[in-house]
Structures are given as C-alpha cells and as structure tokens.
Amino acid sequence: MNRKTSGAWLVTIAAIAALATTADASSLTSPFEAAVERSAEIKGLLARMPEQAVKRDAAGALLPGGWSISVSSESDTLTTQRGAREVATEAAFPIWLPGERGATAHAADHALLALEAELARKRMEIAKIVRDAYWEFAEAREKLALAERRLAIARTLAADTRRRVSAGQAGEVDALIAEAELSDAEATVAARRGELNEALVQFNGRTGLRPPASFSEETNRRSATHPTVIALSAAVTKAESERHLVEVIDRDRPEFALTTKTDRGDRDEAYNTQIGARVRIPFAYDAVNAPKRAAADGAIIAARAELEAAERSLKNDVAKARAKLDGAKKQLAALEKRHTQLSAAVVLIEKSQQAGQTSLSELIRARVQMFDAANSRALARIAVERAQSEINQAQGIEP
C-alpha cells in the first residue's frame, strides 16, 4: 500500500463515526460508542478494509501477476553419446487484458465503499441494541422506585396499626392485614431489584459501562438516506462492478516470453546461442464464461431485491414508530387522569378509615390500586420516550 492510499484509508477509518447522521448530543452517546468499539463485526469489517486498498493499489502494478522462468536441457548421454547438448531458458511475463486494469481498480473502489457503508449499517444495529438495553433498564429502575415507595408506606402502616392494636384502638386482624401487605411489598421490591440488576448486567455486557442517569431523545425528521439503504445501494453497485469484471476477464491473460537456446550437434562442434521471443494469446470460451456471467447477474438481481425490500421495510418502520408514539401519548394522558382520580380517592378513604368508617383492608386495596396506576403511568411515560427513540432509530439516527 503506498503512502497516499494508506493515508486515505486512515482518514476513512477516522470518518466512520460520522457516516450516519446523529441526533442531538445525549448521555447515551458514550455507551453507544463503547459498544461499537467492542463489536466483533465492526472490528472484522475494519480488518477487511486494507485488503481492498491493497487490491486497488495492485491495479496500478506493471504486471497483473508474477513472471516465471523455465529451464530445459537435452543431451544424448543415454543414447548415441555423440556429445549433443541443448539448454533452453524462457522468461514469461503475463499481460493485462484490455480494460482489466481499470475494471479491477473500479471493483476494488466499490468494494471499499461497500465496506464503509456496511460499517454505518452495523453501527445502527448496535444503536438499537444499546437503546433497547437502556429502556429495559429505565423501566426496571422505575418499577423498583415505585415498589420501594409502596414498601415505605406499608412499613409505616404496619407500625401504626400495631401501635393502635396495643392501645386497644384496632383489632389483631388489622395488624395481620397490615403485616401481610408489608410482606407483599417486600417481595415485590426483591423481585424488582432482581430485574434491575439483570438489566444493569445486560447493559454493561453490551457497552462495558453503566447506563446514564437520564436519557431522552427528540424526534428528528431525517433528510439523509438511512445507512441500511446506503449499504444495500453500495452492495448493488459492487455487484455491478464485479459483473463488469467478469465480462472483461473472459479468458486467461496473454503472455509474452523471452527465450534463449544454446546447443551443439556433437562434441567437436562449438556451442551456438539463439535468442527469441514468444507470445501466447488465449481465447475466450463461453462454456467457462457463461456460468460466471449468470452467477454475477444473479448477485445483482438479489442485491437489488434486497434493497427494494429494505426501502419498503424502513418506510413501514418509521410509520409504525410514529403510530406507536401517538398511541403512547394518548395512553399516558388517560393514565395520568386515572392516577389523579385514585390518589384523590385514597386521601378520602384514609380519612374515612381513621374515623372508623372504612376497614383497613379497603384502604390497603385502594393504595394497591393507586400504586398500580402510578406504575402504569410511569411505564407509559417511558413508553413515550422509547417511542421517540424508536422513530430516530427507524430513520437511521444514532443516539
């Protein structure tokens, strides 16, 4: 690889992170980039880039392949023994086929572009993994926070009820009900803490980092092309360049050779040396080329079909994400109202229970409903933010 090509390749590697349009800077950017650095697929694609750069350089070489030397010798030692001798040498050089040099360079260039586009596509796949891991963590964290609030209130209620029983203001059955609610709250906290730890392990396994304390994305309208479409378009162009290369290299390469021959008829004669040249011109054979052309044509058709399917799928993904966001917002509005109503009801039931007009079990049941509403509301809020994140993901915007 020459210095100019090497420098261009290094610039390309440095620019990989800018291949896809990114959203506004967010606290998920560092974990995302860490996940990219840990990706075996990304490392594999980067490792293949020098190969294409070297192929591009090879197209500028003087010869398309290595040259060869052959030596042959003849004598009559085992026959007449007259002293006849002959030594022939040949240096053979392959020659570029017409158009082969340009077609080879063209194919290598498009193979390199396809690799760069595939890198951007893989980054978007990693972005989805990191986003999903974060939102699973956010949901688990919110569930645990609500469960801990319920546990704190259950502890206060159990202690207060036990004091009232000791003072003769409540029956033993109320204390048992309050303690049962406390045990249920403790079990719920243990389960939610386990879910949060699992989500933390999952996020760390993907990124090597802890999730950010907060993360939110605004939906952006993307004007650039999705990295998947860019990658598949590059794959089509690469297949077309390879098809052209098959058309150009339709036979073995011509060969030019320089020859020398030194001989004598018997031992009394002087050696005579001759210098010559040889040209080998092969011809195309359709029985060999037709299968190659058919395979290349098939690769182009398959690449175009995959591109068309991806364009339809991505358009559908954006529409689905927007519909999901609209539904999540409407659900959140309804759950906000439900939570407000149940919170007001709990306040009234608490006053009624303190006045002895309502049983403790009814109060606990109302509080459980309120916490269920709070949990649903919190998850609905996360669902709205996650839907906004999914719109950006569908549009090919990195976090």
* Lowest-confidence segment of 23-27, 304-308, 328-332 by average pLDDT: 23-27
List Cβ neighbours of 347 (8 Å cut-off, separation of 6 or more): none
The tens digit of pLDDT for each residue in 69-78 reads 999 999 988 8
Instruction: Please report which confidence band the pLDDT of residue 87 belongs to, taking 50, 70 and 90 as the band edges.
Output: very high
pLDDT of residue 223: 58
Query: What's the whole-number mean pLDDT along residues 273-289?
Result: 94
Q: Is the pLDDT of residue 57 over 50?
A: yes
Are 321 and 394 in contact by the 8 Å Cβ rule? The answer is yes
User: Taking the alpha carbons of 348, 350, 351, 352 in that order, is the dihedral positive or negative?
Assistant: positive
Residues 348 and 342: their CA atoms lie apart, in Å, by 10
Token look-up 């054979």 returns 285
Sole residue written with tokens 């060999």: 288
> What is the token pair recorded at 114?
């396809």
Q: What is the pTM of this model?
A: 0.78
The pLDDT confidence band at residue 167, using thresholds 50, 70 and 90, is confident
What residues contact 311, with CB distance under 8 A and at least 6 apart? 229
Asked if the model's pLDDT at residue 17 lies above 80, the reply is no
- Among 38-47, 53-62, 145-154, 219-228, the range with the most confident prediction by mean pLDDT is 38-47
Q: Which amino acid type is present at position 167?
A: A
Q: Is 33 strand, coil or helix?
A: helix
366 vs 295, which has greater pLDDT? Answer: 295
The enclosing H or E element of 184 equals helix 172-207
Distance, CA of 70 to CA of 120 (rounded, Å) = 50
| Structure-model confidence comparison of residues 364 and 60, the more confident one | 60
CATH number listed for the domain at residues 3-316: 1.20.1600.10
What pLDDT score was predicted for residue 168?
A: 78
| Helix, strand, coil in percent for the chain, rounding step 5 | 70, 10, 20
Per-residue tokens: 174: 């109320």
